[in-house]
Amino acid sequence: MRRICVLFLLTILSISCSSAQRISPVGKPLKLAEIQEECNRVFPTEKWVFIHSIEANFPGEKKTFMLGVSQIFPEKKKIHCIMMTIEGLVVFDALYDGKIVINRGIPPFASENFAKGMISDLQLIFFQPKGQLIETGVSDAGEWICRYQDKKWATVDVLIHLDNRWTIRQYHRHQLRRTIKAYLKQDSVLLYKNRIPERLELIAHGVSGYSLKLKLVEAEPLSE
Amino acid sequence: MEGIQEKAGEIKSVRADFIQEKHLKILSKPLISKGTFYYQATQSLRWEYTSPFQSILLMHNGKIKRYIKGSEGFMQDSGVKLQAMQVVLQEIALWLKGQFNDNPNYNAVLEPGPKVVLTPKEKSFAKIIQRIELLLSNQPGVIKTVCVYENDSSYTKFIFKNVRLNKPLKDSLFQEIQ
């Protein structure tokens, strides 16, 4: 009886902690391939430079605005990230190429933790999730889902909505850490192999959570 | 430099359009922003961006506020960097009065052009801004361009056009976003 109680409690706990969406399998292999292809299209395969205007919201209803320049190299998983004030003063400049190098940081943007968080958020937005694709299917609402998991128990769900928007959710040990919502530019499907979202919303969950609203100012493919 | 200051002392108000070019090594072409600025002697300033986003920075009676048009209309910026902006805006107010020597944090040198080159005296500040170059017009109180160098590959150039001097400006321009 005691064993049953413990088992019941564990089941309840795992259900209450896990808010990851239920995935229903799709029977046809062709459909499966189509879903995986759509999930892949969310992440650029080419080199790009993106310029975004960023609206950042912090606890205590604090709000600030910045400009962000992100140079991404998907094949090498390399990122060069620059943040500046609207007047053009660079407050943060960091490069990730296996390790983070901060080229410039003006407080409060000078800390290594800030750099780690920034690079990690950009990786989640632009790069194919780390780990293996462990599940592909359809949600109860009809969204297509690809689920990736790495060795450190981080799970990433990529959800393709019926209207071509997409959502990325990152969990760590079943706790939701990040949500990214991407809103597609009308003509981007025709223009590029990958989808270039016109707007992105990132929500960092938790007690010291924050949210970022990114609006695309410019997108330039890199030739070399 | 004293001659410039004497003539610029006659300036009561300035209205000008500006083009801001942000040059970065990783950008193939500069990022362009445009807007208008208004100045009223002695310390009122309105710095307004119209593209690629809308933002209004107001300085009046030593108080500074910034508003940006975001997802829910114009919203006030509560960022810590506003303190830094206060310093920059007060600096602009000094330049418009021709008082290039009045900030003890910079060394000011007048070069042919006429061009004023400001270099920070403190090493810690020089890490943030290497130097500022102001290209002056022959018309007193008018600055053609301002270049703020963070380093040799990263700088911001402001180009001023359609400058109108000493035209009456409403006080509300410096207090309200309108």
pLDDT of amino acid A92: 94
**Contact with chain B for residue A110, Cβ under 8 A:** no
User: Which residues, given as ranges, of chain B have pLDDT below 70?
Assistant: 1-9, 79-90
Give the span between the Cα atoms of A184 and A169, in whole angstroms: 17
Contact call for A217 and B53, based on CB within 8 A: yes
pLDDT of amino acid A164: 76
| Window 22-81 of A, Cβ < 8 Å to B | 49, 51, 53, 55, 61-65, 67, 69, 71, 80
pLDDT of amino acid B10: 76
| Window 43-102 of B, Cβ < 8 Å to A | 47, 49, 52-53, 55, 66, 68, 70-71, 75-81, 84-85, 88
**Contact with chain B for residue A102, Cβ under 8 A:** no
Enumerate the residues of chain A whose CB falls inside 8 A of the CB of residue B53: 53, 86, 215, 217
Give the span between the Cα atoms of A148 and A168, in whole angstroms: 11
Q: pTM for the full model? A: 0.86
Tell which residue, A8, A198, A36, has the closest CA to residue A129: A36
pLDDT of amino acid A188: 55
Contact call for B31 and A87, based on CB within 8 A: no
Are the CB atoms for A50 and A201 separated by under 8 Å?
A: no
Domains of chain A: residue spans and CATH: 24-221 (2.50.20)
pLDDT of amino acid A14: 41
User: Which residues, given as ranges, of chain A have pLDDT below 70?
Assistant: 1-19, 27, 29, 185-194, 224
Enumerate the residues of chain B whose CB falls inside 8 A of the CB of residue A55: 68, 70-71, 75
Are the CB atoms for B106 and B121 separated by under 8 Å?
A: yes
- Complex ipTM > 0.90: no
**A53, A87, A217: best mutation site toward chain B, by most B Cβ within 10 Å?**
A87
DSSP-derived secondary structure letter, A20: P
Longest dimension (CA), chain A: 68
Tokens standing for A213? 């609203």
Contact call for B70 and A55, based on CB within 8 A: yes
Contact call for B156 and A69, based on CB within 8 A: no
Which residues are within 8 A (CB) of A94 and not within 5 positions of it... i.e. 6 or more apart?
A80, A81, A100, A101, A102, A103, A105, A115, A118, A119
Are the CB atoms for B164 and B15 separated by under 8 Å?
A: yes
Contact call for A86 and B70, based on CB within 8 A: no
Are the CB atoms for A109 and A117 separated by under 8 Å?
A: no
Domains of chain B: residue spans and CATH: 2-174 (2.50.20.10)
pLDDT of amino acid A8: 45
How many angstroms separate the CA of residue A21 from the nearest CA in chain B?
A: 28
User: Can you list the alpha helix ranges (DSSP code H) found in chain A?
Assistant: 2-17, 29-41, 112-126, 188-191
Tell which residue, B77, B4, B78, B12, has the closest CA to residue B40: B12
Q: Give the amino acid at A14.
A: S
Give the span between the Cα atoms of A117 and A112, in whole angstroms: 9
Contact call for B150 and A62, based on CB within 8 A: no
**Contact with chain A for residue B22, Cβ under 8 A:** yes
Of A82, A106, A217, the CB nearest to B24: A82
